[in-house]
């Protein structure tokens, strides 16, 4: 199950008020999640039902709680309650059709007579949220502006830095930063500590982060080219935030949430305070359009089947199609330097694991980064499989549509002829 996390409400004017407003709800939410993780589904459901009555719960919170309750009751094989809360989630604004359709926690509903109607409703809700025209995409950089104002104050009053960031940055958050905070930051004190620990870096990236807004024409041009290549494409609004090295990016119902301070390299940027992985992943700010297209491709691709093979193909296709459109791999070009020199041995190692569900040696494996070998080499493997399929195709535009709509990862690998091509080299 893709478990849903709850965004926090970041609108109060003081840290104390913020804590008082959310403490009970956050406590119940955390408890419900932990009970779910430990398979205490009855207890988790009771906790979430209490959370629905907690002071300060917002409509956005309720949507997620309803969905998580549906999952708990689904795992308890209680179809009536699972259906009731799934319907409540959709009525409250839940709009992720692929997640609901493939969520194994809701398997008890798959034979229910109301299941087709429920899926139809969530697909309709999802369609309403899709942005079809490039000119309608919102590119929001106001959170970056608010960060710099808060940062200037926090530097002169480090003892109260967390409260300052809470009031002047998170307290003025866009809906995108609200979700990014809930999913990735979670704690203003941790955020303040991470930012203030890198004074030279943050001082040196102000110009590069402020240049993002000026890249809007290039970003929209890239999106337009993608739509020309794939007319069925849809888009999401994009929020640029400063994340304190919490995450380079994530996604929510609000749109794409980009931790811009992790793609902020450029002339004059000082990276000596960053560790090896942070330096290597810190792409040039001028590569932002390629990064955004990579993330938007994830919104347009088919669902994974849970295997390592499927996961790597989904990541690799985002790199491959982004390169088709922009002419560059962005910061992931570094993976290809190593990958091209070790392609055969990487494939042999990958084959042994590709049918399983453990991606820890191939994707998001930052702890394995060394000066000699980069992490995330699953991106490279997936790219090469997609490239092989595309190169074989006579109708290139159809090939792109095929790649974006893979239904069977094993069959796609076979159709690509990648392994045979590699053996012939």
C-beta pairs of 25-28 under 8 Å, 24+ apart in sequence: 25/51, 25/54, 25/55, 25/56, 25/57, 25/61, 28/54
Which residues make beta-bridge pairs with 250?
Answer: 257
| Whole-number pLDDT of residue 10 | 33
List the structure tokens of 168.
Answer: 């002047």
- In what side-by-side order are the strands of the sheet with 249-252? 139-140, 238-241, 255-259, 249-252
Tens of pLDDT along the chain (425 residues) come to 444 544 333 333 233 333 333 447 767 877 898 899 899 999 999 999 999 998 767 787 788 899 999 999 999 999 999 999 999 999 998 888 878 888 889 999 999 999 999 999 999 988 888 899 999 999 999 999 999 999 999 999 999 999 999 999 999 999 899 888 877 887 899 999 999 999 999 999 999 999 999 999 999 999 999 999 999 999 999 999 999 998 888 877 788 999 999 999 999 999 999 999 999 999 999 999 999 999 999 989 987 888 999 999 999 999 999 999 999 999 999 999 999 999 999 999 999 999 999 999 999 999 999 999 999 999 999 999 999 999 999 999 999 999 999 999 999 999 999 999 999 98
- Specify the pLDDT at position 69: 97
The CATH number of domain 15-129, selected from 3.30.230, 1.10.287, 1.25.40, 1.20.120: 1.25.40
| Predicted pLDDT of residue 5 | 47
CA distances from 99 to 88, 299, 387 (A): 16, 12, 27
CA separation for the pair 204, 209 (Å, rounded): 10
Instruction: Determine the 3-state secondary structure of 370 from DSSP.
Output: coil
Contacts of 215 (CB under 8 A, 6+ apart): 285, 286, 288, 289
Query: Of 326, 163, 276, whose CA–CA distance to 318 is shortest?
Result: 326
- Domain positions in the chain: 15-129, 134-297, 301-424
Global pTM?
0.80
Rounded to whole angstroms, the Cα distance separating 326 from 219 reads: 10
């Amino acid at each position: 199950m893709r478990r849903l996390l709850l965004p926090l409400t970041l609108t109060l004017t003081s840290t104390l008020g913020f804590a008082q407003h959310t403490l009970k709800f956050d406590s119940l939410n955390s408890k419900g999640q932990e009970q779910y993780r430990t398979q205490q589904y009855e207890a988790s459901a009771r906790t979430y039902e209490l959370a629905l009555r907690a002071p300060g719960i917002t409509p956005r919170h309720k949507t997620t709680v309803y969905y998580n309750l549906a999952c708990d009751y689904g795992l308890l094989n209680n179809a009536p309650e699972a259906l009731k809360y799934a319907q409540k989630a959709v009525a409250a604004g839940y709009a992720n059709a692929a997640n609901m359709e493939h969520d194994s926690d809701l398997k008890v509903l798959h034979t229910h007579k109301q299941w087709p109607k429920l899926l139809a409703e969530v697909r309709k809700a999802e369609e309403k949220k899709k942005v079809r025209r490039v000119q309608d995409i919102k590119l929001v950089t106001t959170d970056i502006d608010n960060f710099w104002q808060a940062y200037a104050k926090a530097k002169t009053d480090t003892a109260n830095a967390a409260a300052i960031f809470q009031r002047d940055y998170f307290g003025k958050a866009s809906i995108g930063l609200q979700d990014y905070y809930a999913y990735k930051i979670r704690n203003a004190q941790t955020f303040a500590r991470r930012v203030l620990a890198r004074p030279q870096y943050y001082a040196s990236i102000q110009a590069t982060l402020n240049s993002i807004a000026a890249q809007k024409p290039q970003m929209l041009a890239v999106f337009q080219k993608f739509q020309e290549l794939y007319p069925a494409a849809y888009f999401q609004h994009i929020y640029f935030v400063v994340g304190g090295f919490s995450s380079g990016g994530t996604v929510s119902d609000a749109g794409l949430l980009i931790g811009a301070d992790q793609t902020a390299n450029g002339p004059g940027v000082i990276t000596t305070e960053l560790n090896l992985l942070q330096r290597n992943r810190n792409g040039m700010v001028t590569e932002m359009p390629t990064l955004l297209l990579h993330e938007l491709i994830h919104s347009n691709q088919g669902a994974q089947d849970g295997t390592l093979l499927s996961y790597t193909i989904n990541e690799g296709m985002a790199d491959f199609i982004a390169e088709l459109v922009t002419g560059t791999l962005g910061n992931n070009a570094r993976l290809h330097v190593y990958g091209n020199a070790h392609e055969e041995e990487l494939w042999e190692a990958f084959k042994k694991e590709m049918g399983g569900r453990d991606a820890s040696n191939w994707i998001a494996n930052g702890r394995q980064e060394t000066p000699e070998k980069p992490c995330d080499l699953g991106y490279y493997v997936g790219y090469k499989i997609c490239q092989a399929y595309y190169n074989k195709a006579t109708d290139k535009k159809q090939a792109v549509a095929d790649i974006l709509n893979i239904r069977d990862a094993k069959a796609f690998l076979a159709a690509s002829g990648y392994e045979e091509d590699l053996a012939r080299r």
